[in-house]
Structure 1
């Protein structure tokens, strides 16, 4: 048998369900004409439509170089093809299958609406050519549809979802499979296996008006380095995760999100390393908090599967469609550039723009500020984040934004509005993080670091006045949401 494994956001060899099933299928087949190739499709216009950041694109290309070598060790060549959009994938794969006598294509399921449509189109095209197409459940520990409430419907609140997830979870069944190199592969040419196509380089990166330098050197791309980072976090930082994860001036988070977003690391690898042979009930408070964050990721994956409208820019909560966003669109640019006059917001946006990453607590603060202080549609922020983030993941990003804007599934109540001043004082009391990203505030005393306009020497600073008054905007936001909710039919 000859097979093809189509890699998408699962750029790894370890614990890659589709890859391992394809390898098993080839090994178990009879006959001398065995073969397996891996394929990655660069869909540039689709990436642009989805606002995939230049940082993430660069990380993808760097990872493909490492993945080419890792697959070669398994005697599997990686083919990289460039097409415009998902609509072109069916023809491309069909032609590749015809040219190489491929009988079956394997891939791991994606749950976003466009991606599901893509796979349906590819399946239809291949089956018309009598070529098999198998989608594998890989992205989540429990695939969407396997965690349901007593009514047989999907969960709309996280805590019951998490409880059901934990009740069903059996550590003994958590298997992280490592592939074994194929004995023979008629499609593997050792002389060409380590050569990336000449048309894959930085010129392929679609820029989205980014202000950062597009450098991804801080993120590892070889599997061993990524696993080492997971081990380091699990053994040294996870215990204190519940205390340190909200403090942006220290590295208290795992910073594994770029690897999870691109599938360079699987959620099963993360959980297996965290448990290290234990049951979830035996985890410390910090470890359990991190496990909850991983389950949140699954919760959002399940949501986009059951509610494809989320992939089309819709609010999850129906009455939120009545919200009349009253903000000044000119303020959007100030928010994007980190010039709002609120230090914790501005420092967070500077971090995002320069590194492609933002601390999770800060993501909530700046999202709340955009929707509830500036009274601007959360969709502006959602898309801007995707255009900048190195760890951009649609489900997690959409879920986070709708949670902050109180329009989403199990979101914070609309009357809960983060105060950027008190949030700064609570999580960055000495302004260490603020001063790192806003050096113009170095001379500001700690007492005024989160409200520098109150400092008597504020006029000497090269820093803007607040573009809005938080107290006034809070009242406007409450009225805006209340009117929308009261107009619900």
Structure 2
């Protein structure tokens, strides 16, 4: 008998509840552990995953396979198409390997939760037990509620209650499991060998199907570490060297080091949120000069927490619906040419264009600029926020539904705790405040690099090779105000 650990968005050994508990149980009953990853490429495409996120996940899997091998755990990786095909694949694996237990960590998205429940129901019929653990959040997802049992709809109140719960139940992490005893039964080893040979187009992690050389030739993939050891080095570097300046530096897009740069590692689960929380909390408690900045980053982790709780409590968020139902009536513009200019970074507004080009070139965008570009699309251009949410997911190496959806709905004033619809972010004012010398603009919009700083921020007249502004900001604001007001009146 063996235990099957199903990896999803938790591609690590350290602080992995499903893996840790499965290994503990295997030691108790003297059995083995086998791990699997079922790559749902069709589902990734349906969920708008782009090459950057998918390839980074595969790189993290390569490392996971090597790390698991050190524990005498085989990682079987299959292509299965979509979520529906994952269930029979898991049951087939379990039966062929004589596994009576499947262990996995929970995911907050609706499709994933429905799939897991279907697996539980079908597995019970075959005598297989499924075990799921909270992993993506500090506190159990969906269980931070008001006294009357209703969800928190505002971050401030959620944060207050979450901090109270974290005082009652301090964050703890789990160690890497001990090495499993080598599988000695010839029949069991033979089964794994056959599965590795006949798994389909992907076979086992580490074979040529993952094309590791292609990752080395990809500058976006080169930028982000994909091993667990590198992930912890980056976390340690941030907390030991940069977190104390996080609060004053985090809003300046020209200084990426002012942010943690950990979001891709958290999106794939190469780092757990609990590991990040404890590292930052240690700085907050031990370094008075860095307490405020560390606290600000802890707040950002709680925002991430909030959005994941909301996905569980409001399933419609996973179905492209606005958090505020009344905002479903906003008459968004169907303007494909304007959308294309925004996507390609040719709007004529330098900081917006620099941000959109940063996204395409690096697979990442500074958070201040994510807000600015989202407000520009949904407010000034009055284009449906879902178009922007989709574009971000198709390009971000750290794309995940909870944070991406939460951020876009915040900017579009359709979500929880969102910016009031009449408050906008001026692309010129944002550049003056956070890129005063135009250095970031010059980096990604080289057409403006030879101009003085003020001209980079807001060019005067025609600049060769650079488009004129695609709209008048005042007219864009007036159009948006009228659209939001009409949607409000339609509800009365």
TM-score, normalised on structure 1? 0.93
SS at match of 2:352: helix
Separation in 1 of the partners of 2:491 and 2:437?
Answer: 44
1:167-194: CA deviations, max 9, x gaps?
A: 12139832221123334142679x9899
Q: Which position in structure 2 is the counterpart of 1:175?
A: 172
Separation in 1 of the partners of 2:283 and 2:380?
Answer: 46
Separation in 2 of the partners of 1:232 and 1:246?
Answer: 19
Contact kept in structure 1, 2:19 and 2:177, CA below 8 Å: no
1:200 matched to 2:203: no
Contact kept in structure 1, 2:462 and 2:468, CA below 8 Å: no
Separation in 1 of the partners of 2:463 and 2:430?
Answer: 25
Separation in 2 of the partners of 1:322 and 1:75?
Answer: 56
Contact kept in structure 1, 2:78 and 2:204, CA below 8 Å: no
Separation in 1 of the partners of 2:388 and 2:287?
Answer: 37
Q: Which position in structure 2 is the counterpart of 1:306?
A: 313
Contact kept in structure 2, 1:171 and 1:279, CA below 8 Å: no
Q: 1:106 to 1:407 in 2, by over 3 A?
A: same
Separation in 2 of the partners of 1:111 and 1:459?
Answer: 49
SS at match of 1:37: strand
1:336-374: CA deviations, max 9, x gaps?
A: 000000000000000000111000000000000001111
What is the 5 A alignment of 1:51-200? 51-170=48-167, 173-186=170-183, 196=205, 198=207, 200=209
What is the 5 A alignment of 1:271-286? 271-276=277-282, 279=285, 284-286=291-293
1:50 matched to 2:47: yes
Q: 1:42 to 1:289 in 2, by over 3 A?
A: same
SS at match of 1:144: coil
Alpha-carbon distance, 1:62 to partner: 1.1
Contact kept in structure 2, 1:300 and 1:395, CA below 8 Å: yes
The partner residue of 1:335 within 342, 345, 362 is 342
Q: Which position in structure 1 is the counterpart of 2:231?
A: 226
TM-score, normalised on structure 2? 0.92
Separation in 2 of the partners of 1:430 and 1:260?
Answer: 32
Aligned pairs, how many?
A: 474
Q: Which position in structure 2 is the counterpart of 1:10?
A: 10
1:488 matched to 2:488: no
Q: CA RMSD for the aligned pairs?
A: 2.2
1:284-304: CA deviations, max 9, x gaps?
A: 111111000000001000001
Alpha-carbon distance, 1:276 to partner: 2.2
Separation in 2 of the partners of 1:339 and 1:92?
Answer: 46
Q: Which position in structure 2 is the counterpart of 1:40?
A: 37
Q: Which position in structure 2 is the counterpart of 1:390?
A: 397
SS at match of 2:38: strand
The partner residue of 2:323 within 316, 325, 328 is 316
Q: 1:378 to 1:280 in 2, by over 3 A?
A: farther
1:271-323: CA deviations, max 9, x gaps?
A: 11112286599761111110000000010000010111011110110110110
1:240-265: CA deviations, max 9, x gaps?
A: 11111100011200010000001000
1:464 matched to 2:471: no
Q: Which position in structure 2 is the counterpart of 1:478?
A: 481
Separation in 1 of the partners of 2:272 and 2:402?
Answer: 16
Q: Which position in structure 1 is the counterpart of 2:199?
A: none
Separation in 1 of the partners of 2:408 and 2:286?
Answer: 29
The partner residue of 1:255 within 254, 257, 261 is 261
Q: 1:244 to 1:469 in 2, by over 3 A?
A: same
Q: 1:278 to 1:448 in 2, by over 3 A?
A: closer
Give unpaired runs (5+ residues) of structure 1. Answer: 206-211
Separation in 1 of the partners of 2:106 and 2:26?
Answer: 20
Alpha-carbon distance, 1:78 to partner: 0.6
Q: 1:327 to 1:94 in 2, by over 3 A?
A: closer
Separation in 2 of the partners of 1:281 and 1:168?
Answer: 24
Contact kept in structure 1, 2:342 and 2:353, CA below 8 Å: yes
SS at match of 2:221: coil
Give unpaired runs (5+ residues) of structure 2. Answer: 197-202
Bigger helix share: 2
Contact kept in structure 2, 1:58 and 1:202, CA below 8 Å: no
Separation in 2 of the partners of 1:16 and 1:139?
Answer: 10
